[in-house]
Chains A and B, each alone.
Chain A
C-alpha cells in the first residue's frame, strides 16, 4: 500500500499544479501497519503542500474520510482513494462542482461480476431505498467525489457515530450529480467486497438513514394485536355458544391471547418512541441553507420624484 503513494501524489500534483494557485493534499492514514509513515516522511520532503494525518488505530474508511473532511480547508474538496481513483479527472470535476455548488459522486463503469442472488438482493435494496426512504444510492457509486465547501460544512455538522458518506451526501441536499469513471489499479490487489460485507453495509445504511423499518415493525405489531383481538372474540363465541368445550381451553386461550394483544400494542407504541429517540439522538441539523439572497430594488425606481399630487389641510 505504501508503494502506491508516490505515483498517486505525482498524479495528483500533475493534475493540480497547473490549474490551481492554492491547494492542499491531505493524506489520511487509517492506522496502517506497513511502512507508510516512513514512506510519507520521505514524500513530505519532496512534495509541497501535503499534510499527513495518521489516525491512532484502524477506524475504517468512513471515519478516515470524515477526519479528512473535518480538516480540509479548501473551497472544493475531492475525496479520492490512492488505490483506484484516476486523479487526472479532478480539474474537470471541480469545474463542474464550481458550477453546481453541490456534490459530484463517482460511479464506476466496470460492472462488478456478482452472483444472481447478490444482484437480486442489490436491486431489492436499491428499490426499497428509492421507494420507501426516498434515497437514491446509485448502483456502483463509490467514495470518489467532489464536494463544495457548503456541502462539506453541512456534512461535518452531522455527528452520527456511524459514518456513511454515501448517505450524508444524499441527505444534506444540495445539487447531487454523478459522473462515470473507470477505476485504475495502482496496487495489484483488487478490492472486492464479499456478499455479507455488502449486506451488512446495506443494513447499516437503511438503519442510519431512517426509522422506516421501525415503523414497519410497529405496524406489524398492530396487525398482530388486531388478530389477537379477533381471536379473543372467537374464544368468547366458543365459550358462549358451543356445548362441549374441553376443560381449561377457554382460560388458557384467553390468557394467552389477551397477553399477546397487550404485548403487541405495547411493542407498536415502543417502536414509535424508539424511532423518535433515534432521530433526536442523532441530533442532525434540521436543514442546511443552500443560498440566501436579498431584494435589490434600487431606490431610484421607487422614488419617482419628490412631487406630491394632493395637499390636505390636516395632516
Chain B
C-alpha cells in the first residue's frame, strides 16, 4: 500500500475523500474513473476499521426491510451485483433462515411473504430440523432465504489493492479538521497528522466520515446535518453446533439476529432491544462532541446475557452460544429512518459551501446507488 507523505505539493488534487471506510474508498475509485486526481485521508492506520468492519457483515437481499419498499427493492437489485463484483470477499456457503415473530412483530408472516414476492426475493420452506428449533408459541413462520455475508478483512484488502492499482494515494493517521473557501476559489481543507498541520486546496471535498460527519461542519462553522447515533454492541459468539453454518434473523420487532461473521470465523448475535446501549443526536441547539470522543469515553459493559436470554425464548438451542468478544461501534442513522426503518444513503452537496459533499451510507451494498449521483454532480 502506498502512502505518500503530507509534504506533496498542495492544491494538486481535484478531490479529497475524508474517511477510508468502504464508502470513502469506493467514492475515491469512482472519482478516479471520472479522470479526477483523488486523495483519501484516513484517521486510522488501515482502511475500513470502523463501521465498515464493525457490523453484521450482511449482504442484504431485501429481506431485512419489509416495511421500506424503497430500501428493500434497491437491496434486491444491488444484491447480485455486489455478490458478483466482490465474489472473493463473499461468504455464501451457509443456510439463511428468516423467522417471523408472533407477538410484538410489526409484520405478519403473510405480509412478509407477499412483500418478498413483490420484490422478487425467494422464500422457501425450511427443512423440518430447522423449524423445530423455534418455539412455535412465539414464532409464526420460518422461511429459507438467500443472503450472504462478506468478509470485512478481505474486503478491506481488496479495496486497498484497487486504490493502489488506480493510483489513489491514502494518507493514514491523517485527520481532516475544517474546510472553507480558499482565495483561489477552490476549497481549503485543513489536515493534521501527528502534530504537523497543512492545508490542501482541492476542488471537491467528500466527507465520508459516517458518524463523524458533523465534526468537520462544526469546525468549519457550517450548519450540521441532523443525525442520530447509537452506541451498539454485536456479541461475537460461537454458535451451537447445529447452527454452525446457519444464519438466523427474526423479523420484525424486538428480536435477534445471528449472522456468520467471516472475518473472525464466529457469529454475531445482535438484538434489536439490547444491541443499542444508548442514543444521542447531533442537534444544532446543543454543544457538539464528536461521536468518537464520546465512544472512547463510554463504559462498554456487554449485554450478551440479555441478548441470549431473550433469544432463547424464541430459539431454545441458543443457550449453547459461547460468548467470545464484542464488536462496539457508533451506528449512525438519519432521523427519518426512525419511522419507516429504511436505510437511504445520505448524499448531500453542501449549499453553504459548494464543492463540499456529505456522503453517508447506511449499508455496504448500497454502493451502487452512488455512481449516478456522483456523475451528475461532477459534470454539472
CB interface residues, B 153-206, toward A, < 8 Å: none
Q: Does B372 contact A (CB under 8 A)?
A: no
CB interface residues, A 251-288, toward B, < 8 Å: none
B interface size (C-beta, 8 A): 10
B309 and A73 form a contact (CB under 8 A): yes
A22 and B137 form a contact (CB under 8 A): no
Q: Does A24 contact B (CB under 8 A)?
A: yes
A22 and B103 form a contact (CB under 8 A): no
CB interface residues, A 133-173, toward B, < 8 Å: 156-157, 159
CB interface residues, B 314-351, toward A, < 8 Å: none
Known: A22-B305, A156-B137, A157-B137. A73 touches B103 (CB 8 A): no
Q: How far is the CA of A74 from the CA of B308 in the complex (A)?
A: 11
B313 and A73 form a contact (CB under 8 A): yes
Q: How far is the CA of A22 from the CA of B137 in the complex (A)?
A: 26
A73 and B310 form a contact (CB under 8 A): yes
Residues of B within 8 A of A51 (CB): 273
Residues of A within 8 A of B313 (CB): 73
A70 and B310 form a contact (CB under 8 A): no
Q: Does B306 contact A (CB under 8 A)?
A: yes
Our pick among A24, A70, A156 for the contact of B306 (Cβ within 8 Å) is: A24
B137 and A73 form a contact (CB under 8 A): no
Q: How far is the CA of A24 from the CA of B309 in the complex (A)?
A: 11
Our pick among B104, B273, B306, B312 for the contact of A22 (Cβ within 8 Å) is: B306
Residue of B nearest to A49 (CB): B306
Residue of A nearest to B311 (CB): A73
CB interface residues, B 133-154, toward A, < 8 Å: 137
Q: How far is the CA of A24 from the CA of B274 in the complex (A)?
A: 12
Residue of B nearest to A156 (CB): B137
CB interface residues, B 49-96, toward A, < 8 Å: none
Contact code string A65-101 (vs B, CB < 8 Å = 1, else 0): 0000011011000000000000000000000000000
Q: How far is the CA of A71 from the CA of B311 in the complex (A)?
A: 11
B309 and A74 form a contact (CB under 8 A): yes
CB interface residues, A 13-27, toward B, < 8 Å: 22, 24
15 contacts between A and B (CB under 8 A): A22-B305, A22-B306, A24-B306, A51-B273, A70-B103, A71-B104, A73-B306, A73-B309, A73-B310, A73-B312, A73-B313, A74-B309, A156-B137, A157-B137, A159-B137
* A contact residues vs B (CB 8 Å cutoff): 22, 24, 51, 70-71, 73-74, 156-157, 159
| Cβ-closest 9 pairs across A and B | A73-B309, A73-B310, A22-B305, A73-B313, A157-B137, A70-B103, A73-B306, A22-B306, A24-B306
Extra 12 A-B pairs, beta carbons < 8 Å, given A70-B103, A71-B104, A157-B137: A22-B305, A22-B306, A24-B306, A51-B273, A73-B306, A73-B309, A73-B310, A73-B312, A73-B313, A74-B309, A156-B137, A159-B137
